[in-house]
Amino acid sequence: MIAITGGAGFIGSRIAIRLNQLGYKDLVLVDHLGTSDKWKNLRGIIFEEYLEKKDFFSFLEKTKELQAVIHMGACSSTSEGNASYLMENNYRYTRRLAEWCLEKNVRFIYASSAATYGDGNQGYQDDPIGIDALRPLNIYGYSKQAFDQIAFQKGWFNKITGLKFFNIYGPNESHKGEMCSVVFKAYHQIKETGRVQLFKSHNLEYCDGGQLRDFAYVKDVEKVVAWLLEHDDVNGLFNLGTGRARSFEELANATFRAMGKPVSIEFMDMPKELQGRYQYFTEAKMESLRDVGYRDAFFSLEEGVSDYVKNYLESV
């Protein structure tokens, strides 16, 4: 039996779909559905049990059948200002789960974030040895960093696996609202107005639309997590991106191309509250994951956007 927290969310539900395809049907999906539309992501997934987040630890006290916990549940809003909530939800909850898994010898794979790298001045190497030097730009990034740090301090990375997600996009993200990927937003802007709005640059080193991100397709995330389940001797903290930074303009162009529409981009001012904590460049260093044996190729930006647009967004 495998538990997936955030199981109705974007990445969690996609992992569940991948595991179903690989023959895993004894899944325990954990989430908080509330009044959101993310329940729709559960449609078509075969699972053994669904649990609200508040009931998960009671379930853990009784079960003896759990082989792995894939912990994708978190508040992922980079604009969330309630630091107490984020620390309780992202740090404390993750720590309790990790401690339970370590005590019971249950595989633990969890989501960290590239937001822990802050402005990137310390680079994007995922070696935990440099973890204390990182300075996240927002409380979301810090809530993820706090657990990475405690896991390193206690030597847990010998027995658990963390994944530092970069900019993930793909199907099952529509419930995320403002936190949806730029691909999702660009598609709907093009459909409604025929153009895409991108932020102007406030950094002389980058032109408007030339800000760079490592955009990774969610299908690659699914594959990596499934591979880690099959290789339970692989532990540590790993970046998960593509290893290649691409510009927002390139992303917009790929979306126009996938939709068969002429390119039309409008640049707008970045909100002042973002200007001092905006990442102009992210690029995952992927050597660590490759060094432990992961060999599959990653979707290019053009391949991922094309698949997402043609096979998902346009089929709704």
Question: What dihedral do alpha carbons 96, 98, 101, 105 form, nearest 10°?
Answer: -140
Catalytic option among 50, 53, 159, 176: 176
Amino acid code (one letter) for 148: D
CA–CA dist 220, 127 (Å, integer): 21
User: Is 110 a catalytic site residue?
Assistant: no
Instruction: Write down the residue that tokens 């810090």 correspond to.
Output: 142
Of 227, 237, 216, the residue nearest 161 (C-alpha):
237
Instruction: Write down the residue that tokens 């990596």 correspond to.
Output: 224
Rounded to the nearest angstrom, the gap between the alpha carbon of residue 72 and the centroid of all alpha carbons in its chain is 8
Catalytic option among 24, 110, 117, 140: 140
User: Is 38 a catalytic site residue?
Assistant: no
Listing DSSP states for 258-312 in one string gives HHT----EEEEPPPHHHHTT--SB-----HHHHHTT--PPPPPHHHHHHHHHHHT
Are 6 and 30 a contacting pair, CB within 8 Å? yes
Q: Which residues are catalytic?
A: 140, 176
